[in-house]
Structure 1
Amino acid sequence: MDTMPTAPAAHRSWSLFFRSRDGLITVATLMAIALHLILWFGPGLSGWARDWPLVAVVILGGIPLMIEVARSAIRTRGGADTLAAVSIITAVLLGEWLVAAIIVLMLSGGEALEGAASRRASGTLAALARRAPTTAHRLRGADISAGTDEVPVSEIAVGDLLLILPHELCPVDGEVVEGHGSMDESFLTGEPYVVGKSRGSAVMSGAVNGENPLAIVALRPAEDSRYAQIVGVLREAEENRPAMRRLADRLGAWYTVIALALGVLGWAVSGDPTRFLAVVVVATPCPLLIGVPVAIIGAISLAARRGIIVKNPGMLEHTSRITTVMFDKTGTLTYGRPVVTDIHTAAGFAADEVLALAASVERYSRHPLADAIRNQAEKRGLVLPDVTEISERPGQGLTGRVDGRHIRITNRRTCQEIDPASRALMPVTAAGMESVVLVDDAYAALIRLRDEPRASAGEFIAHLPGSHDVERLMIVSGDREAEVRHLAGQVGVEEVHAGISPEGKLALVEEYNRRGPTLFLGDGINDAPAMAVATVGVAMGANSDVTSEAADAVILDSSLERLDELLHIGARMRRIALQSALGGMALSMIGMLLAVFGLLTPLLGAIAQEVIDVLAILNAARVGMVREPLSDFDRVPGG
């Protein structure tokens, strides 16, 4: 739940304002205007004696601003700010130093406010980057007793042996080579996992070590590790310029042409060049180019505070227009926490015996099926023997050595490759999930499991059409059709696509993209292609580098309520950004028309535009200022 901003937070925001170059120019300009007004009322003073503070601030402050505006125009980042340079030059030529100073004030003040708001909004990203470990303890020899050297994380190479001390952050992705303990990975995965670690266990950068030191071998350099990728995703989100901003740039260019044309018209009709100055002053700078980026960064910050990483800010403007939502099954509409329903054993093995062996090995795995097997063993009150060796590699399943026996937990196909005789011993395939246990490379048991739908899944499905105008809902899964249809019936989804390959998911998304904006929600690597081509791709949890890379947003705590909040954040951002941009433009247009007819002097026009710009920025900053929950469906406890 959001809280009211604290005094220190407000102090930091103003500190950011005053530390910037634009903030200093703003303060200097205010002081110059105040001094000019004092001199204005001074006895016997006129001309340069009163105007010198304004001349100084326009030259010293205006020239750097105009140089930056020129650079921005060359980079085609916007056309409206060029009106500031035109206005300052025109005011100087006409001897209107107070007007020129007010234009410098509005331009520098607007830029300083935007910069301060942007840096304040992106504080979550900075905090995440600061949390990254900067040093590591590299072992001098092959074991923990060899001693360590403290080295920068950037110097760690693949194959280096590192010592992770108790309660220390793991600096790189790696594998345990010595030691026995646990790591808290909840910050990275959003799941409340404290995972046991032993020889052969994988470790992730950014995870917090437990009570015991662990020796690991680095499998990736720091810049390629999991934590660095999450930080990189956030940094890319902050720097990426979405389509909505580019549209604002194009509108700003047209707005500049209109403002200059009206200024020339006023000058031509009246023969008075101050009409031209009044028009361009009231049009400068355009709130279109200030309000939109502040709104976007506010939305990124708001999402980050609620456990949502927005990788592609451009997706935020599409979330309120989604017509088709596609769900993967496991881990999205279900908890991803299956329960054991049946244990089929081979001759010579008892169910409790095999379950204890499997649960012992599964203590070192983060796989959802591992939780189910461990929970079942705990429910039966089984004593778990110690594991002396562990390994979990892609395509090989989970293997370990328990009481001198080699235990492998894998799938049906791999089991039949290792022990061909198991083909005749296994029960027929049924709906649900299964794990196969081999003891000393001989088939021992098949453990069947079934995942349960999230408590809020049915309510969320029913909520989407009425509250978000979603027209079509479907489950797209690679699981067997019987299993997918069973879940669909439980949550209220009528359209089902089962047994779909990653290529099939991709083709399905491309088909529906032609009918309108789509959202694909998944959590596995096989969902990555579909998420990459969907209008909005959302990953549940940060369990896969590939999935997180393909997604436009990542929901760290894997809850449907967070997805609903993301939809509301996008709609809120788009609505407020357009309010700031179009509202500011409309007010400026009114001011320009008044100036054309001589009803607004350059000085009054400058003051009016300053008010318009501040209103646009303050309105845009509202995006990130939400105290109440954003989700508008009543989430069932535990959902």
Structure 2
Amino acid sequence: MGQNASQSDYQHSWKSREMLIAVFAVGMISLHLYLRFGAAVSAQWQNVPLLAVLLFGGVPLTWELLRRLFHREFGSDLLAGISIVVSVLLGEYLAGALVVLMLSGGEALENFAVSSASSVLHALSQRMPSVAHRKTGASIDDVALEEIAIGDQVVVYPHEACPVDGTVTEGHGVMDESYLTGEPYMMSKTPGAAVLSGAVNGQSALVIRADKLAIDSRFSKIMEVMERSEEQKPRMRRLADQLGAWYTPLAILIGVGAWAASGDPVRFLAVMVVATPCPLLIAIPVAIIGSISLAARRAIIVRDPAALETAETCRTIIFDKTGTLTYGEPRLVGEFVRDESQRLQILAYASSLEKYSKHPLADAVVRYAADARVHQYDVVEVDERPGHGLTGMIDGHKVELTSRKRMQANNAESLEHLPPQASGLECVVLLDNQYAATYQFRDTPRADGASFVRHLEPRHQIKRTMLVSGDRESESRYLADQVGIHNVYASQTPEQKLEIVREETQTANTIFVGDGINDAPALMAATVGVAFGQHSDVTTEAADVVVLDSSLQKIDEFLHISRRMRSIALQSALGGMALSVVGMAIASAGYLPPVAGAVCQEVIDVIAVLNAMRVAIPPKSLIDFDPHSTASGVG
């Protein structure tokens, strides 16, 4: 990782220098023009600002191009480097300075549009505490995380991240493990329950026994996978490089041919100056910046501009389950009562009691009752002992909410009334120690999930749709059936998710959509990683695109912004290059000297850039599916 960090620091430093070079070039060229046309000074002094640009700007830029060539990074900006060198050799300093400005300005423009706040691994490490609260007897001491040994008692205060994998020994409460395991619920924690490092504690302090060293914890393993994923992520060829792969040899061929035919090296320089691929170096970044701005106004943050260029080429989309195709919270979906005439009465009792509970399912019962507009009762003698469920006295009746397992142990005579065990979660309601009802819960699919999935192939040429989840097989299959996905991988660890994404990406460009820390390695390995929501700073750092609103419509909008950006960028680039080829033909015939060629290229740039700027104008609509549709097809 030291090498990667060094490379990242170098790239950040180089981006800063490009901006300084661009600003310096503007100032020096302006000074040259003043000395040439506004002050009576000799030609020797007029060229001093231009020589400064070529020395302090051209040399670093040319050296950077040579470094890229050494690493076999052959790009469209090679023509600019050739132009700078030849302009110096032939004494055409103004032409060379203009090329320096065009090259540094185009790069700086894109770098200004998107800057990375911090690395993924930094965000990951920042999430974990650096100290743990070790309990010895009656005393609690803060010690370095590395000092925690297996068997130590560790206190996890409310809202803290659990520092190590372990088992609860004291206290009861809930923990949020959704971004680690894929399970969409706050999980109850009582003595004997396992806890994972990185899980966020609820409102009650817990004491846990460390079962693993910090270095062997689940969170550390995810971090290791992240490191490997970052190292092995393939570099995508940018759009400008793809176009430059044929444009650069063509320009060099025309320039060499003009030199050979005329015997005049200035014609070679003139062709190179006109050929400087500014429609690639400037128009494409302008289209990217406009698209990034348009996306940001629609609550879509594009962190890597390459995502805009490549999303349109993706033919496989891979979804995590929790919080992406589902709402990420339990909802009451099944209601079975022993006496149907008492359904609303039982619901009223249960919801009145659940208001006093911290159980993960309590809110779901309360919300369901609120929608049913049932009467709420006063509750007395509320008791919620760990592992025993919730009890209270309501209107003279004893009401108890418990589990199927505990009810079976204490109320054998009521077993015949229980509905069959279903996937998902459930709770049992007892009224005066007799079975009254069973409530079943699921993390329900988004209302627009099925119509969104259906429209991906006809509208976006997505040939393969997959669900890869850390959740259980039954829950994953249930969701997949609801939204129409046939390729399902359930109970997947972050390592397994990463491997699946890598295999799919080798076959076709992929989009991965996820929202938890367990998705971060897969987000980095995919061609385009889309973080859904703002649940984790680690996830958003790992992703190329962050959708701030939890809405599938935003993903559709991003896909359309990508398609529109690519289309307009290609129009600008190919149109500008076609005009440049015409200019090269004129320059090769000797009718366009280097400085005039640079001015001609600037005119071409303006045309290409004006066309590229259209991308920031929002169209009437950026979605093409009906989120309310339940029929096949798209709206």
> TM-score, normalised to structure 2's length?
0.64
Partner of residue 393, structure 1? none
Q: Aligned letter for 2:258?
A: G
SS at the partner of 2:73? coil
The Cα shift of 1:260 comes to 1.1
Hey, what does 1:110 align to over in structure 2? 106
> Is the deviation greater in 426-435 or in 276-285?
426-435
Q: Distance in 2 between matches of 1:332 and 1:105?
A: 44
Cα deviation for residue 227 of structure 1 reads 12
* Aligned residue in 2 for 1:341: 334
Amino acid at match of 1:560: L
**Which stretch of the first structure deviates more once superposed, 374-383 or 282-291?**
374-383
2:94 pairs, out of 89, 98, 113, with 98
Asked whether 1:435 is paired with 2:431, we answer no
Pairs within 5 Å for 1:10-409: 20-41=16-37, 45-119=41-115, 122=116, 129=123, 132=126, 138-139=132-133, 141-142=135-136, 146=140, 148=142, 161=154, 164=157, 170=161, 243-245=236-238, 248-285=240-277, 287-288=279-280, 319-320=311-312, 335=327, 337-343=330-336, 363-365=358-360, 371-373=363-365, 375=367, 381=376, 383=379, 385-389=382-386, 399=387, 409=403
2:334 aligned counterpart, secondary structure:
strand
Counterpart of 2:273, as a letter, is V
Q: Structure 1 residues 196 and 272, CA, compared in 2 at 3 Å: closer, same or farther? A: same
Cα offset, 1:628, TM superposition:
8.7
2:299–2:549 CA contact under 8 A, matched in 1: yes
Aligned residues: 582
C-alpha change, 1:237 and 1:181, in structure 2 (3 Å) is: same
Deviations 1:499-558 (A, max 9, x none): 99789xx9x999999999887878999999999999988786788999999999776754
SS in structure 2 at match of 1:338: strand
Cα distance in 2 for residues equivalent to 1:567 and 1:174: 39
Deviation at 1:408, TM superposition (A): 7.5
Q: Which residue of 2 aligns with 1:7?
A: none
CA distance in 2, matches of 1:480, 1:162: 33
Any idea what the Cα deviations from partners look like across 1:164-207, whole Å, max 9, x if unmatched?
Answer: 57xx7748577777778888999999999999988769688596
SS at match of 1:146: strand
Which residue matches 2:552?
560
> Are the counterparts in 2 of residues 171 and 222 from structure 1 also a CA contact under 8 Å?
no
Q: Determine helix, strand or coil for the equivalent of 2:75.
A: coil
Closer, same or farther: CA 561–207 of 1 in aligned 2, 3 Å: farther
Q: Deviations over 1:9-55 (max 9, x none)?
A: xxxxxxx9999322332333333333333333577743423323322
Structure 2: give runs of 5+ residues left out of the alignment: 1-11, 340-344, 393-399, 630-635
- The Cα shift of 1:72 comes to 1.5
Q: Report if aligned partners of 1:144, 1:163 keep a CA contact under 8 Å in 2.
A: no
What does the per-residue CA deviation read over 1:283-318, in whole Å, with 9 as the maximum and x for residues that have no partner? Answer: 225543566577668867876886668799776556
Shift of 1:239: 11
Say if 1:227 and 1:618 are closer, same or farther in 2 by CA, change over 3 A. farther
Distance 1:498 1:102 in 2: 54
1:277 positional shift: 0.4
Partner secondary structure for residue 59 of structure 2: helix
Within 5 Å, give how 1:507-518 maps onto structure 2. none
Are 1:124 and 1:301, in contact at CA under 8 Å, matched by a contact in 2? no
After TM superposition, give the deviation of residue 603 of structure 1 in Å.
0.7
- TM superposition score normalised by structure 1: 0.63
Distance in 2 separating the partners of 1:238 and 1:629: 39
The one-letter code matched in structure 2 to 1:107 is L
What secondary structure sits across from 1:110 in the alignment?
Answer: helix
Partners of 1:187 and 1:520 in 2: how far apart?
15
- Residue type of the partner of 1:363? K
Q: Distance in 2 between matches of 1:303 and 1:234?
A: 29
Q: Distance in 2 between matches of 1:252 and 1:271?
A: 27
Question: Counterparts of 2:287 and 2:413 in 1: how far apart (Å)?
Answer: 60
Matched, 1:591 2:594: no
Secondary structure of the equivalent of 1:95? coil
Instruction: State which drifts further: 579-588 or 298-307.
Output: 298-307
- Residues 80 and 173 of structure 1, relative CA distance in 2, 3 Å threshold: same
Q: In structure 2, do the counterparts of structure 1 residues 221 and 602 end up closer, same or farther at CA, with 3 Å as the change threshold?
A: farther
Change (3 A) 1:456 1:173: farther
Structure-2 change in CA distance of 1:45 and 1:579 (3 Å): same
Amino acid in structure 2 at the alignment position of 1:68: E
Counterparts in 2 of 1:518 and 1:362: CA distance versus 1, 3 Å: farther
Q: Is the 8 A contact 1:538 1:554 kept in 2?
A: yes
Contact 2:467 2:488 survives alignment (8 Å): no
Cα distance, 1:280 vs structure 2: 0.7
Please report how far the alpha carbon of residue 278 of structure 1 lies from its aligned counterpart in structure 2 after TM superposition. Answer: 0.8
With over 3 angstroms needed to count, the CA separation of the structure-2 counterparts of 1:377 and 1:629, relative to structure 1, is same
Distance 1:44 1:353 in 2: 94
Q: Secondary structure at the match of 1:139?
A: strand
> Are the structure 2 counterparts of residues 635 and 38 from structure 1 closer, same or farther at C-alpha, using a change threshold of 3 Å?
same
Distance 1:254 1:461, change over 3 A: closer
The answer as to whether partners of 2:155 and 2:205 remain within 8 angstroms in 1 is: no
Contact 1:143–1:178, Cα closer than 8 Å, also in 2:
no
Report the CA distance shift for 1:443/1:80 in structure 2 as closer, same or farther (over 3 A): farther
Counterparts of 1:31 and 1:205 in 2: how far apart (Å)? Answer: 52
Between the aligned partners of 2:576 and 2:427, the Cα distance in structure 1 is 65
Shift of the 353–183 alpha-carbon distance from structure 1 to 2, 3 Å rule, reads same
1:95-154 deviations in Å (ceiling 9; x for gaps): 2122222222222222322322232xx45989x9599568656436448963547x7x89
Q: Distance in 2 between matches of 1:74 and 1:548?
A: 33
Q: How far apart in 2 are the matches of 1:38 and 1:223? A: 67
- Partner of 1:20, secondary structure, is helix
Native 8 Å contact 2:214 2:220 kept in 1: no
Q: 1:533 to 1:240 in 2, by over 3 A?
A: closer
Instruction: Note if contact 1:356-1:385 (Cα within 8 Å) is conserved in structure 2.
Output: no
Runs of 5+ consecutive residues of structure 1 not aligned to the other structure = 1-15, 390-398
2:74 aligns to what SS in structure 1?
coil
Determine the C-alpha separation between the residues in 2 that align with 1:611 and 1:130.
47
Give the percent of matched residue pairs that are identical in Structure 1 and Structure 2.
42
Deviation track 1:344-374 (CA, whole Å, cap 9, x = no partner) reads 679xxx9789968996998343xxx665346
Residues 79, 275 of structure 2: 8 Å contact kept: yes
* 2:300–2:554 contact (8 Å) kept in structure 1: yes
